[in-house]
Amino acid sequence: MRPAGDPEIAALVTAQQRELREADGGLDGQATVTRDDIHYLAVVLNERAVACGGVQALDSGTGEIKRMYVRPAFRGRGIGRQLLVALEELAFQQGHHTVCLETGSYLPAAIALYISCGYAPIPVYGEYVDNPYSVCFAKRLPLAA
């Protein structure tokens, strides 16, 4: 687990935000700040962080997956899927029984990943309510075996 201030996490989040600005045409209202209450995981290959994601508590039983990102050169290798599983495990370890997330309607690959991993669409919530491009998903985490 890495803190929000970790330089590699910050670099990945900056790259993610840059890519999102290009994909969404520079929509207003997109957050670009890492938050201290997000617990991050990084995927490291050859001593370089190539992907990241975090979990933030929404309430005692619900965690939100935040800032999932895989560098373009490393996509298509299953890294995002493995990272999502690890983030779900982290959320479970933190006591969450449900995880939710938000993504952009202009990111079909992300949407396909979440649906294929068992996430179901839910109404837009919280800070995303006024963003017409936000789509939200949730998944109930299985109980430990």
Report yes or no on 145 lying in a domain. no
Q: What is the pTM of this model?
A: 0.88
Mean pLDDT in order along the chain per 10 residues (145 residues): 85 89 64 68 94 94 95 95 97 96 94 97 94 96 71
Report yes or no on 24 lying in a domain. yes
Looking up residue 45, the CATH number of its domain turns out to be 3.40.630.30
**DSSP code string of 61-127:** TEEEEEEEEE-GGGTTSSHHHHHHHHHHHHHHHTT-SEEEEEEETT-HHHHHHHHHTT-EEE---GG
Report yes or no on 2 lying in a domain. no
Full domain range(s) for residue 76: 7-140
Report yes or no on 13 lying in a domain. yes
pLDDT of residue 52: 96
